Amino acid sequence: MTLSVIEPTDQELNATWPSWIRTLAAAINAATSNVAEITISSVEIDAGDISLDVGAELTDIKYEVVLVSGAGAANIQQIRQGTEGQIKVFVFQDTNISFTAGAKTLGSVFLNQPLASITNFLINDVLVLLNVNGDGGASTDGYWQELYRKLSIR
């Protein structure tokens, strides 16, 4: 629904206000109807894991905040079955998880650092990834582009 920026005019009759209020309420409801596309989850990654799967460890929700910890050391190199536009915000709960920078292919994590280099995350660090070109694993996983990271100083 597109609302007109020139209506209602300053000269509208008071009797038309309920109509404008209903129109605005419908527009606001439509704009907030995708709240189900945001979720927060907790994931414990098994020691030695090198990949995560959307639909298994991660949800297929459009925007997911993942409170992530590890049962032991794990070096994530790939996130499979992602769909283009999905965003995963990893908030690290311990020091067991690291990510390896990969190429723009096969569900790799394309970090803002040299290829094949490893980042060891600390408690409260944040890494935000966006899936590019994924189709849910039907024919391609795409890759996960780093949008930004926040390294905790305490």
Q: Is residue 92 part of a domain?
A: yes
Contact partners, residue 32, CB within 8 Å, separation at least 6? none
Is residue 7 in some structural domain? no
* 124 lies in some domain: yes
pLDDT of residue 120: 97
What is the mean predicted confidence (pLDDT) over 40-64?
96
> Residue 45: phi, psi to the nearest 5?
-85, 135
**Does residue 107 belong to any structural domain of this protein?**
yes
Q: Is residue 68 situated within a structural domain? A: yes
- Position 33 scores a pLDDT of 62
**Is there a domain that residue 5 lies in?**
no
Neighbours of 59 (CB within 10 A): 17
pTM score, two decimals? 0.78
Average pLDDT, the chain: 91
| Residue 93's CATH number | 2.60.120
What's the pLDDT at 132?
Answer: 97
Report how many domains make up the chain: 1
Q: Is residue 14 situated within a structural domain?
A: no
Inside any domain, residue 25: no
Q: Which residues span the domain enclosing 63?
A: 37-150
Q: Minimum mean pLDDT among 30-39, 124-133, 139-148: which range?
A: 30-39
